């Protein structure tokens, strides 16, 4: 999950609004409460929240009307309908209207929060699959021999529908290569659907993969296609396959063997023609040895293997990748393209890049926002990238260093140590989080465990140069 999710709560009961506003005051959520829907309808339709929570009985537009109107324009928007226990008819009507979930009043605040989070996760995961637009070229930069090997594999496989297993550390470009395999296959132009096993709650994986029938479980308000059906005739990219739960592995194996499956709660089998590309950063052989991955499934997936080397094993590609990402970031942020000085470029090629290509990409985005001049100097880099020695093999414990600092400061007669230390502490965490997210503030707030507003306030106070553009 990347950004802070917007939740709108509509209820004419002030006490409920109060309770929910507090229950949902979480770093990953932004809540707006409304006493009635009429005045806000247009705005809700134009800029829908990520989740809508609504009461049923309200003056003006009632909850069911509101839901119908909103879902007419935004059919995927999850709606949580709150209503009194006794009001069974309304509850049934809300399901028929396509509500995501029904929250009986009175409710437990934790239950309400869990439900909202689930709705957010669900909505996000559904937005994620992308069919690669026809003609879109997945540019993969790589002149290093190990990358040439990858390109050769893509070429060799271009007439085939064969299953491919991509291995490589996080951020090495596995999804990118999967897209390229698809685009250069007979299935190009057909859907490319991705699902990351590590990103969805375990109990939703089966329904995400295989879909479900109406009424299969609470909240299954309508029949829904799973990724397998969406990917029919195309490619299904299963990322982080090593995280697939055991039961799902068994089902997947059966689908791969038979080419057909049942939706969750379904009795009629569905036939599909799907090419599987799986990826993992883990060592599947070890998972098999430990009994955490089915050996038979492993053999089915492990037909053709493509290995993506760590970025540190293809240092010769770093300058081109950096130029590419600096250009992309400039385009995205509508600003001038930054250029690395020769020293900065050399420095880049020597860094360890544990986060691989994604870390390089984020660093380039960070520099595009942060570096003051057009030319990027080594000094412009975030502190921990300035000195490679600091990143490789530095096991120094910051707490020890911090204790020493406090000792020294007190010995030197400083007072009000917190006033001195806390802003530095927060500044360092903010800078580091922003670096990890390539300057994206919403995501950085999430990494820090703050709400976006808190981060904005802190930035104004601690790093005013970065607070602009809010
Ligand atoms: N060789 C490359 N050329 C250009 N861009 C690349 C290359 N490799 C990776 N990227 C970009 O780097 C980012 C990370 O790549 P990707 O998401 O494919 O990695 P991944 O290995 O699937 O990561 P994870 O395992 O964490 O999901 C993406 O934005 C991708 O477009």
Structural domains of the chain, count: 4
Nearest residue by C-alpha to atom 8 in ligand 1: 173
Residue predicted with more confidence, 94 or 338 = 338
Nearest residue by C-alpha to atom 9 in ligand 1: 173
| Tokens describing residue 432 | 């580091």
Q: 90-106: per-residue pLDDT in tens? A: 666 665 666 667 787 88
Q: Are residues 316 and 331 in the same domain?
A: yes
Host domain of residue 213: 145-309
Q: Is 137 exposed, middle or buried (0-12, 13-18, 19+ CB in 10 A)?
A: exposed
Task: Give 38 Cα–ligand 1 centroid separation in angstroms.
Answer: 45
Q: 371-420: per-residue pLDDT in tens? A: 888 999 999 998 878 875 544 444 455 676 677 678 667 766 677 788 77
Question: Among residues 372, 391, 410, which one ends one of the domains?
Answer: 391
Question: Among residues 391, 417, 435, which one ends one of the domains?
Answer: 391
What is the mean predicted confidence (pLDDT) over 317-327? 95
Question: What is the distance between the alpha carbons of residues 171 and 176, in angstroms, rounded to a whole number?
Answer: 10
144 in contact with ligand 1, CB cutoff 6 A: no
Give the predicted TM-score (pTM) of the model: 0.60
Q: Are residues 155 and 121 in the same domain?
A: no
Task: Give 308 Cα–ligand 1 centroid separation in angstroms.
Answer: 10
User: Tokens 């691989």 appear where?
Assistant: 356
139 is a domain residue: no
154 is a domain residue: yes
Ligand 1, closest atom to CA 240?
25
- CATH assignment at residue 367: 1.10.8.60
Question: What is the distance between the alpha carbons of residues 355 and 289, in angstroms, rounded to a whole number?
Answer: 27
Average pLDDT value over all residues in the chain: 85
Whether 119 contacts 7, CB under 8 Å: no
323 is a domain residue: yes
Q: Are residues 407 and 382 in the same domain?
A: no
257 is a domain residue: yes
Ligand 1, closest atom to CA 172?
21
Question: Among residues 330, 358, 391, which one ends one of the domains?
Answer: 391
Task: Give 170 Cα–ligand 1 centroid separation in angstroms.
Answer: 8
Q: 409-458: per-residue pLDDT in tens? A: 776 667 778 877 888 888 889 988 988 888 888 889 989 988 888 888 88
Q: 256-303: per-residue pLDDT in tens? A: 998 899 998 888 999 999 999 999 999 999 999 999 999 999 999 998
Q: Are residues 154 and 295 in the same domain?
A: yes
Q: Are residues 320 and 297 in the same domain?
A: no
234 in contact with ligand 1, CB cutoff 6 A: no
358 in contact with ligand 1, CB cutoff 6 A: yes
Nearest residue by C-alpha to atom 26 in ligand 1: 170
Omega before residue 73 within 30° of 0, cis? no
Q: Are residues 247 and 110 in the same domain?
A: no
134 is a domain residue: no
284 in contact with ligand 1, CB cutoff 6 A: no
Q: Are residues 243 and 368 in the same domain?
A: no
140 is a domain residue: no
- CATH assignment at residue 74: 3.40.50.2300
Task: Give 11 Cα–ligand 1 centroid separation in angstroms.
Answer: 44
Q: Are residues 300 and 318 in the same domain?
A: no
Q: Are residues 326 and 199 in the same domain?
A: no
Ligand 1, closest atom to CA 147?
1
Question: What is the distance between the alpha carbons of residues 417 and 406, in angstroms, rounded to a whole number?
Answer: 8
Q: Are residues 333 and 219 in the same domain?
A: no
- CATH assignment at residue 267: 3.40.50.300
135 is a domain residue: no
132 is a domain residue: no
Q: Is 205 exposed, middle or buried (0-12, 13-18, 19+ CB in 10 A)?
A: buried
User: Tokens 């250069």 appear where?
Assistant: 184
């Amino acid at each position: 999950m990347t950004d802070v999710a917007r939740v709108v709560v509509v209820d004419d009961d002030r006490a409920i609004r109060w309770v929910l506003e507090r229950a949902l005051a979480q770093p990953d959520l932004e809540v707006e409460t409304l006493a009635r829907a009429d005045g806000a309808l247009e705005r809700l339709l134009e800029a829908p929240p990520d989740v809508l929570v609504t009461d049923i009985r309200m003056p003006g537009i009632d909850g069911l009307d509101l839901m119908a109107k909103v879902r007419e324009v935004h059919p995927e928007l999850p709606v949580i309908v709150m209503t009194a226990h006794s009001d069974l008819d309304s509850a049934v009507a809300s399901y028929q209207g396509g509500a995501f979930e029904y929250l009986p009043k009175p409710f437990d605040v934790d239950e309400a929060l869990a439900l909202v989070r689930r709705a957010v996760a669900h909505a996000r995961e559904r937005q994620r699959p992308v069919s690669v637009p026809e003609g879109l070229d997945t540019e993969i930069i790589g002149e290093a021999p190990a990358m040439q090997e990858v390109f050769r594999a893509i070429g060799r496989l271009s007439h085939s529908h064969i299953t491919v297993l991509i291995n490589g550390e996080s951020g090495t470009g596995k999804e990118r290569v999967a897209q390229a395999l698809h685009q250069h296959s007979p299935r190009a132009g057909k859907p490319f659907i991705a699902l990351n096993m590590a990103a969805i709650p375990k109990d939703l994986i089966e329904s995400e993969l295989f879909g479900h029938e109406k009424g299969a479980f609470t909240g299954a308000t309508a029949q829904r296609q799973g990724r397998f059906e969406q990917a029919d005739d195309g490619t299904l990219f299963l990322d982080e396959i090593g995280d697939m739960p055991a039961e799902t592995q068994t089902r997947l194996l059966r689908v791969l063997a038979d080419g057909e499956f049942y939706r969750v709660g379904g009795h009629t089998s569905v036939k599909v023609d799907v090419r599987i590309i799986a990826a993992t950063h883990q060592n599947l052989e070890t998972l098999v040895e430990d009994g955490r991955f089915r050996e038979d499934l492993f053999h089915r997936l492990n037909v053709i293997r493509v290995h993506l080397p760590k970025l540190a094993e293809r240092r010769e590609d770093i300058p081109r990748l950096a130029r590419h990402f600096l250009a992309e970031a400039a385009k995205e942020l509508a600003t001038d393209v930054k250029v690395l000085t020769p020293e900065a470029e050399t420095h880049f090629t020597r860094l360890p890049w544990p986060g691989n290509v994604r870390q390089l990409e984020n660093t380039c985005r960070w520099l595009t926002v942060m570096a003051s001049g057009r030319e990027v100097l080594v000094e412009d880099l975030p502190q921990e990238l300035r000195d490679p020695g600091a990143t490789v093999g530095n096991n120094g414990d910051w707490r020890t260093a911090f204790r020493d600092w406090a000792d020294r400061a007190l010995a030197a007669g400083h007072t009000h140590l917190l006033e001195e230390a806390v802003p530095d502490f927060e500044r360092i965490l903010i800078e580091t989080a922003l670096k990890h997210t390539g300057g994206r503030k919403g995501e950085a707030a999430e990494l820090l465990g703050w709400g976006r507003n808190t981060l904005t306030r802190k930035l104004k106070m601690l790093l005013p140069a970065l607070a602009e553009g809010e």
